[in-house]
Amino acid sequence: MMAQIQQEDKINLGAKKFGMWIFILTSCMLFAALTSGFIVYNGGHGHGLDVILPQAFKYSTAVIILSSVTLFMASRAAKGLQFAKQRLYLWLTFFLGIAFFAIQIYAWYVLTYKMQVYFVNPNASRSFIYVFSGMHLAHVLAALLVLLSTIRSSYKNIPQVKNLFKMEITSIFWHFLDIVWIYLYVFLLLNQY
């Protein structure tokens, strides 16, 4: 009976992991479509963003990279059965995620109020800055909710298999967002002019 329950749990966890990979794939296609749209629009108009990106984007990039390190440390702690460390690193990751979100909003503030680069403007290429970072922030918000669920589970007495599974799903999503932001940031940097 116990073996049958464990087998059902394994199948359910496998399906959830597959679902996460499908979500990651569709998100990749979304960001590829957005960057392709930028390239097509830009090719027809012959100019880039014509703006220097705010420094806040550089700082947010450092923060999200650091958050991936803390999440990696949380995963290592979970595998080593060091649950207090796991929770500490999960909370650090969460607060770094909030910091990333806040810095991105500040970058929008700088773009809008200090640089007068608005979402709607004659050079629609500039609008892509808001589109790229906005779509990424929507994904970050979802990842923060997944992270909170993992943090909540870490305080409960759940089987280690489920704990590690939650850590794995959270890590896949979070590290994916890290890679996507680095891609978007470098893409925007290369198209400043």
- Check residue 178 and report its DSSP letter: H
**Whole-number pLDDT of residue 87:** 97
All structural domains of the chain, each given as residue ranges with its CATH number in brackets, are: 2-190 (1.20.120.80)
pLDDT of residue 122: 78
Average the pLDDT over 122-148 and give the result. 92
Provide the pLDDT for residue 157. Answer: 85
Query: For 57-97, how does the pLDDT look when each residue is reduced to its tens digit (9 = 90+)?
Result: 999 999 999 999 999 999 999 999 999 999 999 999 999 99
Share of residues in the chain with pLDDT > 90 (%)? 66
Q: Is 49 helix (H, G, I), strand (E, B) or coil?
A: coil
Q: What is the mean pLDDT of residues 96-109?
A: 97
**The pLDDT value given to residue 117:** 85
Distance CA 61, CA 177 (A): 11
Type of residue found at 41: Y
Predicted pLDDT at 7: 53
* pLDDT category of residue 1 using cuts at 50, 70 and 90: very low
pLDDT band at 30 (very low <50, low <70, confident <90, very high): very high
Burial label, 9 (beta-carbon count in 10 A; 0-12, 13-18, 19+): middle
Terminal C-alpha separation, the chain = 65
**What pTM, to 2 d.p., does this model score?**
0.88
User: Which residues are within 8 A (CB) of 144 and not within 5 positions of it... i.e. 6 or more apart?
Assistant: 94, 97, 98, 101
